[in-house]
Chains A and B, each alone.
Chain A
Amino acid sequence: MLKKITILILFSLLAGCSQSSNDSNANQPSGSAETAGSSSSGNIFAGENLNYIVTTNAGGGYDAYARLIGRYLVKKLGGDNVVINNIPGGGHIVGTNTLWKSKADGLTIGTVNAGLIYNQLIGVKTLQFDISKFSWIGKAAGEPRSLVISEDCQVQSMEELLASVEVIKLASAGVGSASYLDTKLLAEAFDLNVDIIPGFEGNEGEMSMMRGEVCGQFGTTSSVQPFVDSGYGHFILTVGGEVEGVPNAMEFVSTDKARRIVSLIGALSELGRVTAAPPGTDPEVMERLREAYTATLNDPEFLAEAEKMKLPIDAASGDTVDQLVMAAMNQPQETIDIIADSVRVE
């Protein structure tokens, strides 16, 4: 009996020790050397792991950026290792909820998908956060959008699309996704005569174009680039970025409504790959994070690796991100109504 109890106690001790040493949320300043730029209260990152939440599964865009940035970032902060924590689900909402509720000690940061701005504007109930209140660390790259049309389509330019009497079919991702909303909003802005067919995830839309079922797709420029490069289609419009020889959406804007919508899409495109810390993170800690982030994105070694991995870099500071988010959130009721209508189910 005594033997059993002793064993049980030893066991609990062993389990307990390992648990606390692995607890990356523990704030235990160690006596190791301070790195440049640390505040007088000691480097809180020293000897600690940086917990980087990624709101998608491993592999793919957000994850790749996070892994690359995370590796350099943690070194610049003087920390130990970066632990990438993939929390997919609910269209980025689950991971973002988790980030929102995480300890604001600077040791947990995460990716935030700009598309969530749409969700917040229309008041989606499962959101447990206020996107405007995140502590923004910075942005790595924007995600400009473009409207691509297949070579077999009846219309071959924006002018033709605007004038089209026939209904043009466009593919998009599932209803409620950022891609779907982008497409819907664009259609509203320019009063396009289109039928949006949802449910095409990833590059399925391109396959559909190749099969001649749909005419085009409005999505991130980078994801459709290979399609265009292979000669299957071409861009006829772009938002939030510049593509050579392709007109910007603003050129076609003729109403206030259109201007506001295009600006909104543009703002979201500009936001792209952003990283944030939970709300209420200490300003000094934020300063450290932002500094290290900027240093990372300017590090020539980092840039070389990013190039090798084909990850475009177009950095911006946390302040800029803050401004962009605030501007994007500031939408008139009319626009909000349009977004809400787009996801309303009859």
Chain B
Amino acid sequence: MSARLFLNGRIITAFIMLLVFSVMTIMAFDFPAKARLMPLMFGIPGTIFGLLQLLMEIKHAMAEVPDESAEAVEKAKEEKKNETQMFLWVFLYFIFILGFGFIYASPFLVFGFLFIAKKESLKTAIISSICTFIVIYGVFQTWFQIPLFEGLIIEWLTG
């Protein structure tokens, strides 16, 4: 039972909230007098609320009777799989754009997502990719003349 509690998403989320508040509140004590006023004014009640919410979640989870039916378990697994996949792709977006910049990374990411993750047709993936490129390079960089981030790796390579 404690493992279930430990891994329960609701509890983890409430815990993170509590953590954020308590850390920020503790840090605020080090600020000079004027600067710490508002952070403490909201941080202390926030920490208390965070604790309250966490306890409520734990109580709720302990009282909850999980639905052990086959289809509920199946649904939960499916959801988890999809979530992991989506998070993975958002992470990939993040890493590739960070590394290689918008112009290089975006078309590839769009292509990859459509073709690999969502199993769209090759044609759809390529056309979307090209459109992305046209919009980002053509509209933003060229027409609006906004120098776009080139990616940390590219910047490091070009010195």
Chain A residues within CB distance 8 Å of chain B: 3-4, 7, 11, 14-15, 18-19, 22-23, 25, 51, 83, 85, 345-346
Contacts and interface: CB of A to CB of B under 8 A. Distances in A.
Nearest to B147: A85
A162 B126 CA distance: 74
Contacts, number: 28
B147 A18 contact: no
Contacts of B32: 345-346
Give the interface size class of chain B. Answer: 10 to 19
A18 B137 contact: yes
Contacts of A83: 145, 147
A4 B133 CA distance: 18
Interface of B: 32-33, 35, 103-104, 107-108, 122, 126, 129, 133, 137, 141-142, 145, 147, 150, 158
A4 B35 CA distance: 58
A23 B122 CA distance: 31
Contacts of B126: 7
A139 B104 CA distance: 39
Contacts of B33: 346
Contacts of B142: 22
A83 B122 CA distance: 38
A345 B33 CA distance: 9
B104 A22 contact: no
A84 to B, nearest CB: 8
Interface SS of chain B: helix, strand, loop or mixed? helix
B122 A19 contact: no
Contacts of A7: 126
A23 B155 CA distance: 11
A4 B103 contact: no
A22 B141 contact: yes
A345 B31 CA distance: 9
Nearest to A51: B147
A15 B147 contact: no
Q: 7 tightest A-B contacts by CB?
A: A345-B32, A346-B32, A85-B147, A15-B104, A18-B137, A83-B145, A19-B103
Nearest to A16: B104
A266 B145 CA distance: 38
Contacts of A51: 147
B141 A15 contact: no
A15 B145 contact: no
Contacts of B35: 345
Nearest to B100: A15
A134 to B, nearest CB: 20
B119 to A, nearest CB: 14
B122 A15 contact: no
B18 to A, nearest CB: 29
Interface centre among B33, B108, B133, B147 (most CB of A within 10 A): B147
